[in-house]
A and B are shown apart, each in its own frame.
Chain A
Amino acid sequence: MSEKVETISVKRLSIVTSLILILLLFVASPVYAWLNTGKVLLAYAPVSTVSSLFIGAGHNEDIKYLYFDGIDAKDQGERYKYYVFCISGEFAPYYKIQLAYTTNNQFTYDIFHATESNNPAGATVSYIAAEDGTTYYYTINGGAISGTYLNGQAVGGEYIADNTYHSDTYGSYNSVNKYAEPIYWQTSGLITGNVYDKFTHYYILRVYLGNKIDNDKETDVICIAAKTQSGSGS
């Protein structure tokens, strides 16, 4: 008899416990879920990623192989010198090419799009790959890329830099030869990169010696840079 009573009590206890728990469940769940119905705003913007562009030599080799050998202006046969370089990157929708150069020699510079091939026919410049010694040939595509001088001025038959960017270049140091003040130039429009993938674009830098016939001990510095851009505003 007592065992039967005990069994019934346990059963009753089980049922009551289950009912209480289920009731708690139906009260707790909506409250918990309600407490977690969020209002969330997300504000976003792209980051100008500085490391997504690289400047390299021919055949997309490392920049250490980009070499501008000495120019002898006495050589009257060649008034133009050509050098191949590349701009490679990834996930950069657009970019601009920038030049900065000093003006001791009064050379002028133009940049052209170029195509790489193994065929020397019609090529403007060749490049011997450091990796395996293969020679690659580069042909100019179209006219010179249009650009804008940011601080150039014509003075006495010469084209030199004005003082617009003097403090950016030299800070408060003022004893600077006028030819050591660099001219800054950049492409006018945006060059299309590739926002979804890697890319490599080849270019030819053409140096025009002009009428210069002697450049002994005259040195110029030229810097090539590339800057990513996400695009113009809408």
Chain B
Amino acid sequence: MRKKIITLLPPIIMTIVIISIVTVTTYTWLAMNEGVNTENPEMAIESDTYDLVVRRTTEYNRGIYEGIDGLKSIIGGEGYLFDYDTYTSTSDNTRLAYEIVNENDYEGDYSLMPGTYGYIDFYIRPHAGVTLVETTFEITLSGFKRSYNEVGEGNYVLSLNEVTDSAKLDMLKGHFLLFEGRSSETVVSSSGTVNYYRYSDLIEDGILEFSSLGKAKSTDPGYEDCYKVTIYWCWPVTYFEINDHYIGSNPEDGEEMFPTTVATYINNHPSYFFATNQNSLDPDLRSDGYNEGDQVIGDNFNYIVVYIDGTE
């Protein structure tokens, strides 16, 4: 028996080595973005049913993302392309990057801060012959922080690094809320007519289900063959903006902004919303914790990024 095992060992070891080398090589080649055509029939992509298409053509703040250690340099190194005019579809490049739309600016400054809101949209273009698209998008919130790293006595190198601390990343999930729906509402009060947004269908824990069944295609020119997906984001300015404005709660100012699923989400994930007083149900203590959470984000993120993974 021992002789048999010894005799079999060389071919088995050789096979494992061959498996490892070929697997890594093939995976690496296919995971590379440049020059990889996801429609290559040799790779049996028949089950790959759609491409993602981006229409965003401008940025608010050209210039702040550039530089040796700029955000675009870092992300570009991971295979993302930014040329909005040329790379607009994942059939061109499987990784595309573009700027978040911020609809609320402070004197022309479109940086994200408490009280801002906007959207991220893209299109799903079914491949020829595909009549039904059903997929799950995984949405991950992350960010980058600049820091000085000491490389020698008194010598520092400036670098931009992706935030990895889970507690800090969790704070984004509660302050940068994502919704599938939003409607424009009006309320008349003693101070006049107020327009505000009402949100619906909270995206919890980064899962966005999509089905084209029953959905109409986009009417946007040039995108009539696509389904449009819009993710609405909102960074509530205070805890009370959420807590005092649930739909159906008849708030004093009449602005019913958030679905009650947000309340459940808060209670199930206090660490997403409060940097302190996570175990408290007292609104004032929660408000303090929420403000501290804003501070955590401000102290630890120079950029927020949202990954929308449509891998089938």
Contacts and interface: CB of A to CB of B under 8 A. Distances in A.
A34 B61 contact: no
B257 interface: no
Interface in B52-86: 52, 54, 58-65, 67, 69, 71, 75, 80
B19 A25 contact: yes
B307 to A, nearest CB: 6
Interface residues of A, number: 49
Contact of A48 (B22, B51, B111): B111
B122 A49 contact: no
Contacts of A38: 31, 94-95, 309-311
A231 B109 contact: yes
B107 interface: yes
Given A30-B44, A43-B306, A230-B64, A37 B38 contact: yes
Contact of B304 (A29, A30, A44): A44
Nearest to B297: A47
Nearest to A31: B44
Interface SS of chain B: helix, strand, loop or mixed? mixed
Contacts of A48: 106, 109, 111-113, 298
A229 to B, nearest CB: 4
A134 interface: no
A173 interface: no
Given A15-B11, A17-B12, A37-B38, A43 B120 contact: yes
Interface stretch (B97-105, B194-202, B216-224): B97-105
A67 interface: no
A231 B302 CA distance: 14
A13 B36 CA distance: 39
A210 B45 CA distance: 80
Contacts of A21: 15, 19
A176 interface: no
A33 B306 CA distance: 24
B267 to A, nearest CB: 27
Given A40-B309, A47-B304, A17 B15 contact: yes
Contacts of A36: 27, 30-31, 311
Nearest to B137: A41
Interface residues of B, number: 78
A229 B8 contact: no
Given A17-B8, A18-B14, A234-B59, A47 B43 contact: no
A166 B306 CA distance: 38
B212 interface: no
A18 B306 CA distance: 45
A231 B94 contact: no
A22 interface: yes
Among A13, A14, A40, A233, chain B packs the most CB atoms within 10 A around the CB of A40
Among A7, A21, A228, A233, find the residue whose CB has the most chain B CB atoms closer than 10 A: A233
Nearest to A38: B311
Q: Which 6 A-B pairs have the closest CB atoms?
A: A48-B111, A33-B30, A38-B311, A45-B100, A48-B113, A232-B108
Interface of B: 4, 7-8, 10-12, 14-15, 18-19, 22-23, 26-27, 29-31, 36, 38, 43-45, 48, 51-52, 54, 58-65, 67, 69, 71, 75, 80, 90, 94-100, 102, 105-113, 120, 122, 143, 146, 158, 295, 297-299, 301-312
